[in-house]
Structure 1
Amino acid sequence: MYCSKCGRQNPDGQRFCQYCGAPLAAPAGREFPDRRTPGKKVKKQSFRMKPVYWILIAEIALAAVGIFFGIRLLGERFSARRVVEVYAQALEERDWGTAYDCLNMEGETGLSREEYIAAQEAAAPVQIEQSTVSEVSDAASDYWREVSRQMGITWEESAQDDSVEMEIRSLVNGDMQSRTVTVIPVGKKWFFFDEWKIVPYNMYGEEVEIRIPKNASLIMNGTELDTSALEHAGENSEDSGYDSYILPHVFYGGYQIQILQEGMETWSRLVEYSGGSSDFDFSDVYLMPTQETVDTLLGQYGEISQAYFTAAMSGESFQTLEAYFTREALEEGSIENEFDEVRENTYSSSEGNGCLAVEISAMEGRAVSPEEYYDARPGDVVLDITGTVTTTNVYGSSGPRETSEETRWQACFRREDNAWKLLAM
Structure 2
Amino acid sequence: MRTRFLVGITMLIMLASPITQGASQNSEVSLTLTANELRDSDGDSRNDTVRIVATVESSTTTIVHISLLSESSSDELIMTRIVQSTLEPSIVAFNVTAWADGAYSFTLIASTPGGEEFQRIDLGARSLSQGFIGPEATMRLVGQQTVWKGETCSIEMSILDDIAERYDLLTSVRLTGHPFPVDLHHGKHDVDCSNWPQGTYTLSLTVTNSLGAEASTSLEVSILQPLPPSGVVTVSGNNTDSGESCLVQFEMDEGPVVSDTTIIFSTPYGTVRDTLFVDCTDWDPGAHLVKIQLTDVNGRTSLIPAHVIRHVPGLVIKDDTGWVNRSQAAAFTPEAADPAIWAPLVVGGGVLFILALVITLRVRAPRRSDSDLLLDDQTPPGDPYAEVEKDDHGQWWQRHSDGRIEWWDAITNTWEPWDTL
TM-score (norm 2): 0.27
Is the helix fraction higher in 1 or 2?
A: 1
Q: Which has the larger radius of gyration?
A: 2
TM-score (norm 1): 0.27
